[in-house]
Structure 1
């Protein structure tokens, strides 16, 4: 995570759970892939405020959540306490150094976290690290946005997220000379009549490139979906969801 990305998440951390509330379909997807959560060891990369990690732990999994943003981790530790759950400061490029070989039954990386890396080389490094800490046959589960669709149209504005407390507006700024795109946001905090504006770079990682990187990292049984319901990938949809085995 770059300094700019870290500053972005710090600036919205107080309202993160309003912007990105727990999505029950993520939990259902993990359960479907693992068959059972009881006694499963799971690493949640980019855990943020710990909503998904807490739900997994509550259903019997032993979960470690990592994130690079101290403000988000503080909220997770304060608000999502469970005996099966721990939160650590951790970098997805350093998994082999931070965890034991073949430690986890599953590694999760949801919420468009993967594309905060700066290059396909870094993505491959992350995938190789994930495979190293997975048990044989363990599941790597990913979710980013569908940059095939976003870049081909191009999609310049994502759906607005609005609650009684906030309004979150998101734009993409494209450039012809880089694979990075500018992710521009405006968070309107209604009670304070205040707006927090940011722009952070994201890697526009297409599905074919992602599948190649996953294969090159040594994973098998690679499945790509349009959403956590496991519907067929392709066309005008925003999510890109992947499952594969180590």
Structure 2
């Protein structure tokens, strides 16, 4: 190992140790100015990570999403999956239970530690966890996969377009030639345009926890999470608009992108809470793409 490489490893190990020791969120004097991609590690601290499953409610979330992701992957013949935003492990455990060869990556060491414990608790699964930065995913995570999933509104932690494009390019490169990326986001179009509903059926299912916007502008969606013990935590996220993210996916090279709203096909009359984009890497010529788009309509 070169001196530079060993220094980089020491720095990352030091950052990981520092992240694991955090138990209080740090936003500085002006939380509304915290708009940096790397800040999430100071947001997913011990106290919030410990309570995260109260917000998710694994059983109710499983009922809400049903077999949507499993069926989408199986319909495409997927066997190997990189869960790029593992969080506390909900989707990694579901994928392992369905027989997918799954690797679990996350940028938060505290989330990965909780995910590993959850894997053992829910079915005795030993998660293969990797602390990874999406912007250098190919360096942090070995191998290629039939699918990459980035779920739980996680992609909105990237605040610069440069970072978003780099992360999507890394996802694309991690996929086998016929691979698929599944990436979701909150319906920030509705949030920004004042049309957001109160449907919390599918994602944040804990009925004793509130998740409400504390501040919203075109460059920041700051959410407050209040738990039954009156503790409060915040997350700062970038409010991605649906068509903007679809455009980025096309720019990176994904050939076909299908977008669902709360696990259903979107229509002009519906205002879903979440969008789910299913982006296929497999090359198709223009005639085939036009035919598929016509069939979808």
Distance 1:17 1:83 in 2: 17
Deviation at 1:32, TM superposition (A): 2.1
Matched, 1:130 2:164: no
Indicate which of 42, 51, 54 corresponds to 1:15.
Answer: 51
Alpha-carbon distance between aligned partners in 2 of 1:37 and 1:74, rounded to the nearest angstrom: 31
Partner of 1:153: 194
Distance 1:42 1:26 in 2: 18
1:92 & 1:119 partners in 2: Cα distance?
A: 13
CA separation of 1:201/1:77 partners in 2, compared to 1, >3 Å: closer, same or farther? same
Q: Which has the larger radius of gyration?
A: 2
The structure-2 alpha-carbon separation of the partners of 1:129 and 1:49, relative to structure 1 and needing over 3 Å to count, comes to: same
The structure carrying a bigger helix percent of its residues is: 2
Q: Deviations over 1:75-117 (max 9, x none)?
A: 211230356731121122221212346x101000111000011
- Residue 275 of structure 2 corresponds to which residue in structure 1? 240
Secondary structure of 1:111's match? coil
Q: CA deviation at 1:172?
A: 3.8
What is the root-mean-square deviation in Å for CA atoms of aligned residues?
2.6
SS at match of 2:92: helix
Change (3 A) 1:158 1:187: farther
- Residue 209 (1) aligns with residue 244 (2): yes
TM-score by length of 1: 0.84
| Correspondence list, 1:60-71, <5 A | 60-71=99-110
Distance 1:233 1:115, change over 3 A: farther
Residue ranges of structure 2 left out of the alignment (5+ in a row): 1-36, 282-297
Equivalences, count? 234
CA distance in 2, matches of 1:100, 1:47: 16
Change in Cα spacing, 1:237 to 1:79, as seen in structure 2 (3 Å) is closer
Distance change (3 Å), C-alpha of 1:26 and 1:139: farther
Say yes or no: does 1:170 pair with 2:212: yes
Which of residues 85, 97, 118 is equivalent to 1:58? 97
The answer to whether the aligner puts 1:183 opposite 2:218 as a matched pair is no
**Contact 1:48–1:76 (CA<8 Å) still a contact in 2?**
yes
Q: Deviations over 1:114-166 (max 9, x none)?
A: 00111222111111000000001101001111111111115498858654xx4
1:216-239 deviations in whole A, cap 9, x for unaligned?
Answer: 0000111111122x3225442211
**In structure 2, what is the equivalent of residue 192 of structure 1?**
none
- Given the superposition, is the C-alpha separation of residues 109 and 39 from structure 1 closer, same or farther in structure 2, using an over 3 Å criterion? closer
Q: Name stretches of at least 5 consecutive residues in structure 1 with no aligned partner.
A: 190-194
Taking the aligned partners of 1:74 and 1:122, their CA distance within structure 2 comes to 25
Distance 2:78 2:257 in 1: 25
1:35 aligns with 2:74: yes
